[in-house]
Amino acid sequence: MTSSAVSEPARPDAARRPRVVLGVSGGIAAYKACILLRLLAEGGHDVRVVPTAAALRFVGAPTWAALSGHPVSDSVWDDVHEVPHVRLGQEADLVVVAPATADLLARAAHGLADDLLTSALLTARCPVLLAPAMHTEMWDHPATRANVATLRERGVVVLEPASGRLTGADSGPGRLPEPEAIAQAAVGLLHAGRADLAGRNVVVSAGGTREPLDPVRYLGNRSSGRQGVALAAAAAARGARTTLIAAPLEVPVPAGVRTIGVSTALEMREAMLEAVEGADAVVMAAAVADFRPDAVAAHKIKKSPDADVTDAEGPAVRLLRNPDILAELVARRPAGQVVVGFAAETGDASASVLEHARAKLARKGCDLLVVNDVSGGQVFGHETTRVTILCTDGRQLAVPAGSKHLAAHAIWDAVLKIAGNPG
């Protein structure tokens, strides 16, 4: 098997969807590959499924064809005139195998090519990602460990299996990682070889700030922090020195990223102003509260025991306006620093989503504004998104609906188009 470690990997062409070969070997976890396929396809990837004969005993070819939009075969003898056993690997931007059984790992490590999937693995000149799934005893066997070591030495990315319930009553390491985790690793691997942010220092904010009312309650918002975390992970994967200013998040912080935790808008402002010194690019993806209570109660605010239960009125809360962090960053930015803002908008009788966003871009003065249409509960907390990137010269880039990691890379692509050379 070959990989990016021994040859120049294929690079996705920006003018087309990245081509992914999704291999599926014969394990009970094959059904989870249906979810992975959907995530990759919704993320803007062109996915061809190549199952083994054993995998087709778990999930049939019509299912794979319906979900991918491509014909499915496990045989090198189908469509021979198109030479699929060579063409699939040559044309792929990424090959993912999930689940990768102990048998598949052994055949890949020893360079066997007795079906369409192993042939595609041998001809692949792109990154290869294998997600193992098997019983614990099989994963721990010296033969499997040696095969995994061989593959990793050749540059193949072999994920560690998860621990948990296996087939039957067994439990332990060997469970297929969740499809969302495999999809995130796949998208990161597609872009990791670019290193086009190497030598740059970037700062990203993420999450939703919380403004306390008392020791128990706070004013907050629905931001999960997924998009900001995806931006930080993408920047780090592309070689940037990355700092993440994180308000409360619903997702883990990415590896390889310096993280500073904050809670309130005032804490966010202080951390951002300090972190952006010397930064080449700043992305304000956090959902910062516009207002905060003018006073924070020292004790939990309680209902009066004498209050009429039919009385709908509660205590009045006076709000103070929080500082506009994005505007302040723009006003203070040194020459050459790129500042990106975010706008979560809904259309109304006065203007459309993009009209509101263009007005905000003009007010804030940032270089780029990333616009989300959040009407009807869209975007917040979801794995996928659809954004439009507005530029100060009037151009706009509509990013296709897909994963937030795919959107993150599109945003960094836009930043690089207007950024100067790293200092």
β-pair partners for 320: 292
ω into residue 323 within 30 of 0, thus cis?
no
Domain parsing of the chain, residue ranges:
19-191, 198-418
Check if the beta carbon of residue 156 is closer than 8 Å to that of residue 9.
no
User: What's the rounded Cα separation, in Å, for the pair 402 and 182?
Assistant: 15
Catalytic residues: 221
Q: What is the mean pLDDT of the chain?
A: 86
In this prediction, residue 30 carries a pLDDT of 95
In this prediction, residue 139 carries a pLDDT of 94
Calculate what percentage of the chain has a pLDDT beyond 70. Answer: 87
User: What's the rounded Cα separation, in Å, for the pair 99 and 131?
Assistant: 6
User: Predicted confidence band at 11 (pLDDT cuts at 50, 70, 90)?
Assistant: very low
Check if the beta carbon of residue 106 is closer than 8 Å to that of residue 130.
no
H helix and E strand count, the chain: 13, 19
Homologous superfamily in CATH for domain 198-418: CoaB-like (3.40.50.10300)
User: What's the rounded Cα separation, in Å, for the pair 331 and 363?
Assistant: 12
User: What's the rounded Cα separation, in Å, for the pair 286 and 294?
Assistant: 22
Structural tokens at position 164:
């948990």
Q: Is the pLDDT of residue 311 over 70?
A: no
User: What's the rounded Cα separation, in Å, for the pair 218 and 148?
Assistant: 49
Average pLDDT over residues 329-333: 96
User: What's the rounded Cα separation, in Å, for the pair 233 and 256?
Assistant: 8
User: What's the rounded Cα separation, in Å, for the pair 158 and 100?
Assistant: 9
Q: Is the pLDDT of residue 370 over 50?
A: yes
Check if the beta carbon of residue 239 is closer than 8 Å to that of residue 197.
yes
pTM comes to 0.63
pLDDT, tens digit, 9 for 90 and up, residues 25-36:
999 999 999 999
CA atoms within a 13 Å half-sphere pointing along the CA-CB vector of 133: 26
User: What's the rounded Cα separation, in Å, for the pair 225 and 233?
Assistant: 12
pLDDT, tens digit, 9 for 90 and up, residues 95-144:
999 999 999 999 999 999 989 999 999 999 888 999 999 989 999 999 99
Which DSSP symbol is given to 81? Answer: G
Residue in this structure with the two tokens 């960053």, named with its chain if needed: 329
User: What's the rounded Cα separation, in Å, for the pair 369 and 264?
Assistant: 23
Measure Cα distances from 44 to 9, 40, 186, 290, 404 in Å. Answer: 20, 7, 13, 34, 11
User: What's the rounded Cα separation, in Å, for the pair 423 and 418?
Assistant: 15
Structural tokens at position 219:
């004013």
In this prediction, residue 163 carries a pLDDT of 77
The dihedral sign for the CA sequence 276, 282, 284, 290: positive
**Burial readout 25-53 (b: 16 or more C-beta within 10 A, e: otherwise):** bbbebbebbbbbbebbbbbbbbbbbbbbe
Q: Please count the other Cβ atoms lying within 10 Å of the Cβ belonging to residue 75.
A: 12
Say yes or no: do domains 19-191 and 198-418 share a fold: yes
Give domain 19-191's CATH architecture: 3-Layer(aba) Sandwich (3.40)
- Say if strands 396-403 and 384-391 run parallel, antiparallel, or are unpaired: antiparallel
Which of 47-56, 113-122, 177-186 shows the lowest per-residue confidence on average (mean pLDDT)? 177-186
User: Predicted confidence band at 3 (pLDDT cuts at 50, 70, 90)?
Assistant: very low
Residue in this structure with the two tokens 């360079």, named with its chain if needed: 111
Q: Is the pLDDT of residue 1 over 60?
A: no
